[in-house]
Amino acid sequence: MSNVTVAELAATNLVIVAGKGGVGKTTVTAVLARAAADAGRRVLVIELDGKRTLDELVPDLEVRHLSAAELLEEYLFEHGFKRIAKRLASTGVIDVIGTAAPGIDDLVVLGKIKQLERTGQWDLIVVDGPAAGHAITFLSAAAGLLDAVRSGPVRDQATDVAEMLGDPDRCQVVLVTLPETTPVNELIETSYAIEERVGVRLAPVVVNQVDGATNLPDPTTVSFGRALVQVDDAVAAATFRRERVAAQQAELRRLEADLPIRQLHLAARPTAHLAPSDIAALADGLAP
């Protein structure tokens, strides 16, 4: 990983990785955590949504799993529900509260993250953010509750979380995309939405699975001599790859033109299943 990137990550306590489903958010979380840990930082990785992928990708790093449902129960237990806490789920209290104050489940997760950030136990906390289109909702939970709830513990929590999100020395958001038309469009829309609605600082965006074969020769100009067998296959493969690389490069240029934020590229790995060694290689090679 380039020193610039390590310095950028070191400048904040918390990085929340966000992006649509399928773009490789978890991979990017692992790579950023790996890179920071390799540079000697004390790193905590946080995984949401009950997935367990990061334990496999960065087996030697500390990974914590946060569940909104459990944290909400814990929160309610501490805020006046002690006697009836056991019945919270079966009586539907959690559902009433979640619906009366939408975003409270996201807020308790962010509240927990804020609490971990405040301990100062880690130089960098990397959060594998929520999946799909949930990222903006997740990040705007505090702002939404500040509008809706006028007093009480929820408001205090929302104030603290909003303060953390608004301070680039404490928190930044890394958006992830793929070098393809639709993911790039979505990244651009999400960037503006996050800036407008949340006011959190965007760190460099990460483009995942960038094909680095930009120098593959044009197969029509290459002589194969006497070789005949499988030559057609080699030509077809090169044509396919060159077309894909050209399409990706066009998307990267468009992203650069439409979104004035620095891009970091992660190379596509020749595998359908990433192993810790792939994460280490990607962390080493992360280049702007």
**152-181 binders of another protein (CB under 8 A):** 152-154, 180-181
223 forms part of the interface with another protein (CB under 8 A): yes
Q: Name the one range near another protein by CB under 8 A: 3-11, 33-41, 145-153, 194-202.
A: 145-153
Q: Considering beta carbons, is residue 20 or 201 the nearer one to another protein?
A: 20
Three-state SS annotation for the chain: CCHHHHHHHHCCCEEEEECCCCCCHHHHHHHHHHHHHHCCCCEEEEEECCCCHHHHHCCCCEEEEECHHHHHHHHHHHCCCHHHHHHHHHHCHHHHHHHHCCCHHHHHHHHHHHHHHHCCCCCEEEEECCCCCHHHHHHHHHHHHHHHCCCCHHHHHHHHHHHHHCCCCCEEEEEEECCCHHHHHHHHHHHHHHHHHCCCEECCEEEEEECCCCCCCCHHHCCCCCCCCCHHHHHHHHHHHHHHHHHHHHHHHHHHHHCCCCEEEEECCCCCCCCHHHHHHHHHHCEC
228 forms part of the interface with another protein (CB under 8 A): no
Q: Name the one range near another protein by CB under 8 A: 36-44, 73-81, 168-176, 193-201.
A: 73-81
Q: Considering beta carbons, is residue 12 or 208 the nearer one to another protein?
A: 208
Q: Considering beta carbons, is residue 7 or 240 the nearer one to another protein?
A: 240
Q: Name the one range near another protein by CB under 8 A: 7-15, 113-121, 190-198, 215-223.
A: 215-223
Q: Considering beta carbons, is residue 257 or 272 the nearer one to another protein?
A: 272
Q: Which residues, 6 or more positions from 241, have their beta carbon under 8 angstroms from its beta carbon?
A: 211, 213, 216
By CB under 8 A, what part of segment 258-287 binds another protein? 270-273
7 forms part of the interface with another protein (CB under 8 A): no
By CB under 8 A, what part of segment 176-205 binds another protein? 180-182, 185-186
The span from the first CA to the last CA of the chain, in angstroms, equals 9
**In this chain, which of 151, 226, 228, 257 binds another protein, going by CB under 8 A?**
151
**In this chain, which of 120, 217, 257, 260 binds another protein, going by CB under 8 A?**
217
Cβ pair 53, 276 in contact under 8 A: no
Q: Considering beta carbons, is residue 119 or 218 the nearer one to another protein?
A: 218
235 forms part of the interface with another protein (CB under 8 A): yes
49 forms part of the interface with another protein (CB under 8 A): yes
Closest separation between CB of residue 112 and another protein, Å?
16
Q: Considering beta carbons, is residue 22 or 40 the nearer one to another protein?
A: 22
98 forms part of the interface with another protein (CB under 8 A): yes
76 forms part of the interface with another protein (CB under 8 A): yes
